[in-house]
Structure 1
Amino acid sequence: MPDFSPTEYAVPGFVALVLIEMIWAWRTRRDAYEPKDTLTSLAFGLGSTVAGLISGGVFLALFLWVWQFRLFEIPWSWWAFALCFVLDDLAYYWIHRFGHRVRWFWASHVNHHSSQHYNLSTALRQTWTGFLTLGFAFKLPLVLLGFHPVMIAICGGFNLIYQFWIHTEAIGRMPRWFEAVMNTPSHHRVHHATNPRYLDRNYAGVFIVWDRMFGTFEPESDEEKIRYGIVKQLGSFNLLWAVFHEWIGIAQDMWRAPWKHKLSYLLREPGWTHDGSRETSDQIRENWLQRKSAAENSVATGNPVARHGEAA
């Protein structure tokens, strides 16, 4: 059983790529980096590393305990690693999808989306509180199948390494065959967008085929400039607020909500409210589609769409 952590070896490469992108930004896109935003991202990365060291041992011990109940004896071979990598990426897709569709998970994952800039430093915005969501349970089926927990951890490390390079605007689109199968900067820019057409799309880690299979794929449009961040922007570079603001929001909503709705503020999608005072991503997209359809119809018929408060 190998003792190998791929992310440790990748750190120098991460640093080198960030420096290269900074040079590119200085020469061609000065607005791609903002000093306070970048410092916040770096602090996120440091904090998530510490949190991972604290909780990682507990999770590994749990996985090793579950492994004794495995159904098959899967060897340490190249085909086992390849299969484990694919299945681990499928598990990541569902962890990531739940991270956007269940507020309890979103409270942890929102950290990664909190920057209004999109560059390689954004990839470092990893959660400090992921252990609270128990998202690791999505990978327990791999353990029960017989993949050793260390093998799963190694595959997860390579998955994380792959995802680093797709956090950039310096790369447009890859060759068509690559875009069809793999997650790319273009696909992941969509995922980080707050534009209504892009909300909660492209959850893939490595293989974009999962989104194509499960109906969550959206291509990047050349006609619409992407706006990054979250629907309600932080408006602050305060690190602790960035880390914990959604947990605080959940606590406030549950405190104010009627008893029969309290649990829904944990388990329903982000933006859901019992009184309809906020909008979910589905509602935002539906309203946008209705406005878009009305505008297209008005052009086709020659009748202008009425503005808010005006007669048609």
Structure 2
Amino acid sequence: MQFDVDWLLLALAPVFLACIGWEAWHLARTRPGATLYSWPDTLCNAALALMHQGADKLAWLVAIPVYAYVYRHWRLVSWQPGIGAWLALFVAQDLLYYVFHRASHRVRWLWAAHVVHHSSERLNFSTAFRQSLMYPVAGMWVFWIPLAVLGFPPMQIVGIVLVNLAFQFFVHTQTVGKLGWLEYMFNTPSMHRVHHARNAQYIDRNYAGVLAIWDRLFGSYVEEDAHEPPVYGIVKPLDTYNPLKASFHEWLAMARDCSRMPDWRSRLAALFAPPDWCARRDAAHAETGLAAIRTYVSENNTEGDIGSRKT
């Protein structure tokens, strides 16, 4: 049940790169002109991955002592090493990942970090590298504290988080179709294509890490429809390959929205309500203002139409 984190990453790095190389070659041969890979997009993904790894290394310096403190003082269980303990850790972390991932789509503070992963209009293996250096600031590491309460040591927590994320690399592809009965058990490329799509019927669905059961259990599962191909990216396209802009554009937008709010309640909502809260608020205020204009004009306009008042 012990994980050597550094060796895990070292072993998987060439596997990931080989998959990217194979996929780019395969797509160029089988789907010429499809532009599912582009150098600017792939290089942006690589830069974001390096920035994310650097931020993660620093974050673990803070998170691991926190996990250790909770483990020493507040753990509820002391596990005996073995397959049972490993399975318990795997399932518990995967459930917590689902909670984190769903929250990252419904809480703007978390979305400000997670939006980086969704901002590419392509989906391929390199998209899995498209991560945010701001995850530690957003608080991703906080979601794993319950694992320490459940009696799992800090390095096991770090290890299982990395195993979960490593698995997810393989679902970022358009080269694999549906996988039959596996679709009912595991996160698959088909299931994850839905998650990355911005189509109305797909948006904010399929939050699975490894196991598909959580989406089915909590009502967030949607099947990929052959008649509705996924359209990738975010509702407001990023339109840049600059990794710094990709990392910080939503934080800046959130700060602007927060600063223009009239009271502390709406400022908190601008930070922690769903990501579209400010847009819906602005639309509602605009509609209220338009309704007031219509009421005023109709009361002073015998024709009853805005702008048709006779002089």
Match for residue 142 of structure 1?
A: 147
Q: CA deviation at 1:153?
A: 1.5
Q: CA deviation at 1:26?
A: 1.1
Please state if 1:22 is matched with 2:40.
no
Contact 1:118–1:228 (8 Å) recurs in 2: yes
Deviations 1:121-180 (A, max 9, x none): 000011101111223222212211111121121111111111001000000111x21001
Contact 1:25–1:32 (8 Å) recurs in 2: yes
* Runs of 4 or more consecutive aligned structure 1 residues displaced over 4 Å after TM superposition: none
The 1-side partners of 2:101 and 2:75 are apart by 25
Please state if 1:152 is matched with 2:154.
no
**Contiguous gaps of at least 5 residues in structure 2:** 285-311
Match for residue 304 of structure 1?
A: none
Counterpart pick for 2:51 among 33, 47, 66: 47
Match for residue 165 of structure 1?
A: 170
Q: CA deviation at 1:274?
A: 7.2
Match for residue 261 of structure 1?
A: 266
Counterpart of 1:196 in 2: which secondary structure?
coil
Output the amino acid matched with 1:184: T
The 2-side partners of 1:2 and 1:103 are apart by 35
Deviations 1:254-299 (A, max 9, x none): 11111141110011001112763369xxxxxxxxxxxxxxxxxxxx
Match for residue 219 of structure 1?
A: 223
The 2-side partners of 1:274 and 1:47 are apart by 30
Give runs of aligned pairs for residues 267-282 of structure 1, distance below 5 A.
267-273=272-278, 276-277=281-282
Output the amino acid matched with 2:10: E
Greater Rg, structure 1 or structure 2? 2
The 2-side partners of 1:255 and 1:274 are apart by 15
The 2-side partners of 1:275 and 1:97 are apart by 20
Q: CA deviation at 1:10?
A: 0.7
Q: CA deviation at 1:76?
A: 2.4
**Contiguous gaps of at least 5 residues in structure 1:** 280-312
Output the amino acid matched with 2:128: A
Match for residue 98 of structure 2?
A: 93
Paired residues, what number? 278
Contact 2:75–2:149 (8 Å) recurs in 1: yes
Please state if 1:84 is matched with 2:86.
no
The 2-side partners of 1:112 and 1:32 are apart by 16
The 2-side partners of 1:90 and 1:127 are apart by 21
Match for residue 303 of structure 2?
A: none
Give runs of aligned pairs for residues 52-71 of structure 1, distance below 5 A.
52-68=56-72, 69-71=74-76
Deviations 1:215-255 (A, max 9, x none): 00000000012110101000111221110000000110011
Match for residue 117 of structure 1?
A: 122
The 2-side partners of 1:8 and 1:76 are apart by 25
Match for residue 102 of structure 1?
A: 107
Counterpart of 2:28 in 1: which secondary structure?
helix
The 1-side partners of 2:50 and 2:141 are apart by 21
The 2-side partners of 1:275 and 1:211 are apart by 26
Contact 1:261–1:274 (8 Å) recurs in 2: no
Counterpart pick for 1:243 among 230, 244, 247: 247
Identity of paired residues, percent? 40
The 2-side partners of 1:71 and 1:179 are apart by 34
Match for residue 4 of structure 2?
A: 4
Task: Normalising by structure 1, report the TM-score.
Answer: 0.86
Match for residue 38 of structure 2?
A: 34
Output the amino acid matched with 1:25: L
Counterpart of 1:32 in 2: which secondary structure?
coil
Contact 2:3–2:159 (8 Å) recurs in 1: no
Distance 1:180 1:271, change over 3 A: same
Distance 1:3 1:96, change over 3 A: closer
Counterpart of 2:161 in 1: which secondary structure?
helix
Q: CA deviation at 1:71?
A: 1.4
